[in-house]
Amino acid sequence: MRRKIIKEHSDMVISCDPSSEASVKEFYVWMVKKYLPRRYPSIYYAKGDTLFGPASTRLPLDAPKDVDTILYLFAENVDAELFFLKRVGDTYIAKALILCYAFSFNPSLKLNKALTEIHGSVPGYKEKPERPMNRYFTSLSKGKVVKRHNWNISVGRDLFVPRENPLTVLRLWLMGWIKTVLD
C-alpha cells in the first residue's frame, strides 16, 4: 500500500528544501550503516555496497548524491514517516518530510512551515501543546532520534486522505474523550 501511495502521490508525500541536504544525507548514512543492521541484524544485512532487508529492500550503503532520491528510497523501504526539523528561534521548521499516511491535509504544503503552522488546524494546539513541544525538541541532545505517535479517527478505509476530514470540526474536549475511550 505504501509503495502505491508513493507511486501515485510522490509529489505530495515526499518533499524537501535544498537546505536539508546535509542532514538528510547524514541521517541516511546513520540509518543504513548503523541503525538498521545493528538494531535488526536478523532482518537487515550488508553485502558488497548494498544493505538488504525485508521483501525487496535494497539500499546503497553510500548515500546517493540527490536528496530526492534518498527520501524516495526511505519512503519505499523504511516503514516510517519522517520529518526533518530545523530550529529557528523558539520554534522548529519542517525542512524535509516523508508522510505517506496524511490525514486531512496535503503533506507537501507543510514544508518550510513552523510547527505552529503545521498544527494550525489542531484544536487547542497553540494553547496547550505548542510550548511543551518546542521545549521538548529543544531539550533533545544532538543526534537523538525521536519517535512520535499519532492517532486519527477516519471516516473511511483509506490511509492516505489529503483532503479535509469532517471529524476535524470536533471540539478538543470531545477528541480527548474519544482518545481516552480508545486507550
Residue-level pLDDT, tens digit, the chain, 183 residues:
788 888 988 888 899 999 999 999 999 999 999 999 999 999 999 999 999 999 888 999 999 999 999 999 999 988 888 989 999 998 899 999 998 877 767 788 889 999 888 887 777 888 888 888 888 888 888 777 777 776 666 666 776 666 655 555 455 556 566 667 776
Q: Quote the pLDDT of residue 108.
A: 86
- Calculate ∠ Cα 104-81-92, nearest 5°: 80
Kindly write down the DSSP assignment for every residue of 86-119, as one continuous string: EEETTEEEEEEEE-SS-BSS-GGGGTT-BHHHHT
Q: Would you state the pLDDT for residue 163?
A: 63
Q: Which helix (H) or strand (E) holds 84?
A: strand 82-88
